[in-house]
Chains A and B, each alone.
Chain A
Amino acid sequence: MAAPMELSCWGGDWGLPSLHPESLTVMAYAKFSGAPLTVNTISNSWRAPKGDVPVLISEDIVISQPAKILNFLRKQKYNADYELSAKQGADTLAYIALLEEKLLPALLHTFWVEAENYCSVTKPWFASRIAFPLRFYLPGKMSRAALNRILLTRGGPPLCSLTEVEAQIYRDAKECLNLLSKRLGTSQFFFGHTPTTLDAFVFGFLAPIYKVCFPRVQLQEHLKQLPNLCRFCDDILTCYFRLTVSGHSPAGQDTADANLQKLTQLVNKESNLIEKMDDNLRKSPQHPPRKLTTLKLAAGGEGSSPLNRLSP
């Protein structure tokens, strides 16, 4: 089958497998398409924080952007969009563009530019996960890159001050959330009953807004007023990310579950057997206790040995 694939990305918290939208998108897509990925959270590696997160490594191939990673997975036959029509594929591209243009600036702002959020949540969280001494430099760099991106793509002459740009990007983001909510409607995923690339992207962008606890949360409050989007995030988290932080591959998790189940059944059977034997013992005629019990014990040697083993 396919060569083993390893994904390096930022870790998670607040119930999410990762805090980074792009990493989350790739992880969600891998779950949807059944691709066996081993996830490494970046912490002490010097190599990883080059601005190229998430990174997929498969044998000698290194791929860095989410779109390219998803393409690679599709070529390896892990395709979550198999049942989509051509028009739905086109819609996927369009909605992803909408997310990147309208929602991403506000997301970046909430995480990296909003002073209170950045100082009390984002910077400490990332700093605690990056090795010394990069932890003093990297969060600042990411923050400056985010601000740069917002100003260059959104700031123009009439919106010279940051506060005006902020107002505009949050308006756009709320409009985008409304549009997504209308498009999702009451269905479970964006294209019916199976999740696709678009669901991975939307989840990747929405989940951090939904779950991370910031002091300044206007976007989260707006999102919470759209119950179908909240339900969408919760569904994906419970169905696909049951073991949120450890990063086991899905196959391993399933066998562990199955083993646990078998063990529980065995223990139940044993305890039933012990109860039966107990009953038999009580019903049998009561001779002087010591001799008979020893006799009984000796006679039912094999039967009672589990009793001996399991009793505390």
Chain B
Amino acid sequence: TLCFQAFLQMCNLPIQVVCRANAEYMSPSGKLPFIHVGNQVVSELGPIVQFVKAKGHSLSDGLDEVQKAEMKAYMELVNNMLLTAELYLQWCDDVTVEEITHPRYGSPYPWPLNRILSYQKQWEVRRKMKAIGWAGKTLDQVLEDVDQCCQALSQRLGTQPYFFNKQPTELDALVFGHLFTILTTQLTTDELSEKVKNYSNLTAFCRRIEQQYFEGHDKDSSATAPARSAKRSLLR
């Protein structure tokens, strides 16, 4: 969710974040999050970017063709590695599943619906992992993949303020969203956030975007409680 907020803030478009339990069903594609503008509803990053572009706001106009290709490639890398690793950790690592994911996912519903829905989601995610070959991976291997991905991102970022030098793009929003979530979500182990913290330019990048785009909006944002309290610790 954070990458969308970041993206829309970067485009200077004001947004209001609302949490709903049946959000997945309200969305046209079943995927979260989605935006509701006037009488149009658009979900997922790709279509949202197109939608915003059609309305006249675009972050990647200043890039040439090769850079656009690079940006798309890096976005796929983030989706492929970081997103899958996050899903794996949330749903395939037994300890995390028991202590954090099941309670959190099932919290809006009464028993036994909460257990049933979270088991269903877990089964779905495990099927997907099996199809792409991640089912056989151990936690250490997943962490190693995350490390490789962060290393690639860190090397690409170098000492620049944003991935494509002076201006933020969709890639910056996406990376910020994922890294911030990893850094601030409380899990049973800190290994995942430790991996990210190894790369100082990535943490500095997150801090910079947070300060620039989220400072004034703390009151409006309805980020979940752990994220809010952890956000303060990141600023420290």
Contact = CB atoms under 8 A, between A and B. Distances in A.
A157 B79 CA distance: 19
A91 B76 contact: no
A98 B131 contact: no
B80 A179 contact: no
Interface string B176-218: 0000000000000000000000000000000000000000000
A183 B133 CA distance: 28
Interface stretch (A82-90, A111-119, A300-308): A82-90
Contact of B131 (A87, A102, A152, A158): A152
Given A97-B77, A185-B66, A89 B128 contact: no
B152 A93 contact: yes
A262 interface: no
Interface string B159-173: 000000000000000
Contacts of A101: 76, 79-80
Interface in A49-76: 65
B73 A153 contact: no
Contacts of B69: 179-180, 182-183
Contacts of A179: 68-69, 72-73
A98 B77 CA distance: 7
A278 interface: no
A149 interface: yes
A269 B132 CA distance: 62
A298 interface: no
B149 interface: yes
A180 B70 CA distance: 9
B132 A153 contact: yes
A148 interface: yes
Given A148-B131, A152-B131, A89 B66 contact: no
A221 interface: no
Contacts of A102: 76
Contact of B155 (A87, A98, A158, A180): A87
Interface string B99-110: 000000000000
Interface residues of B, number: 30
A59 to B, nearest CB: 23
Nearest to B171: A94
Contacts of B73: 91, 94-95, 97-98, 179
A156 B30 contact: yes
Interface in A22-36: none
A97 B132 contact: no
Contacts of B77: 93-94, 97-98
Contact of B70 (A89, A149, A183, A185): A183
Contacts of A148: 131
Nearest to A92: B152
B153 interface: yes
Given A98-B76, A156-B29, A182-B69, A91 B156 contact: yes
Nearest to A149: B131
B62 interface: no
Interface string A119-157: 000000000000000000000000001001100110011
A97 B132 CA distance: 13
A202 to B, nearest CB: 12
A177 B48 CA distance: 23
Interface in B46-71: 65-66, 68-70
Contact of B149 (A93, A95, A145): A93
A138 to B, nearest CB: 18
Given A90-B152, A94-B76, A152-B132, 16 more contacts: A65-B133, A87-B156, A89-B155, A90-B153, A91-B70, A91-B156, A93-B149, A94-B74, A94-B77, A94-B152, A94-B156, A145-B131, A153-B131, A156-B29, A157-B30, A158-B28
11 contacts: A87-B158, A89-B155, A94-B152, A95-B73, A97-B79, A101-B76, A149-B131, A152-B132, A153-B131, A179-B72, A183-B66
Interface of A: 65, 86-87, 89-91, 93-95, 97-98, 100-102, 145, 148-149, 152-153, 156-159, 179-180, 182-183, 185
Interface of B: 28-31, 65-66, 68-70, 72-74, 76-77, 79-81, 127-128, 131-133, 148-149, 151-153, 155-156, 158
